[in-house]
Amino acid sequence: MSVQLPGLPLLHTHDQPSFVLPSNPFGSLPKSTRPKRCIEQIMTGPRSKEFKKNVAEFERAARVAVADGGSSDRNIQDFVNEIIGHSRRSL
């Protein structure tokens, strides 16, 4: 299977990145019963408090970033201003 979009290189399924990451605490790709065990481990396992704490920290950081004046808000506004500035110059 391949996907081709105008102006982009031809991509094949073997070009996809691997889902096995070095930081994956659960090993390789999930087996048929593995997803259930992984979810149970995250929700109730010995490291569940650590996982939930990390999720809360990421949620707080994301909310700060997208709030008015946050980093995402500023980056989007800078991008829009740059596009508007370029389009006005070409008129």
Is residue 68 assigned to a domain?
A: yes
Mean pLDDT per block of 10 residues along the chain (91 residues) reads 55 55 56 78 90 94 93 92 76 53
| 41 occurs within a structural domain | yes
Does the residue 38 lie in any domain? yes
Domain that holds residue 41: 31-91
**Which residues make Cβ contacts (< 8 Å) with residue 34, sequence separation at least 6?**
26, 27
Distance CA 43, CA 26 (A): 14
| 3 is a domain residue | no
Residue 1 in domain: no
Buried b (16+ CB within 10 A) or exposed e, 34-67: eeeebeeebeeeeeeeeeeeeeeeeeeeeeeeee
Q: Is residue 12 part of a domain?
A: no
In the chain, how many domains are there?
A: 1
Q: What is the pLDDT of residues 66-85, one digit of tens each?
A: 999 999 999 999 999 998 88
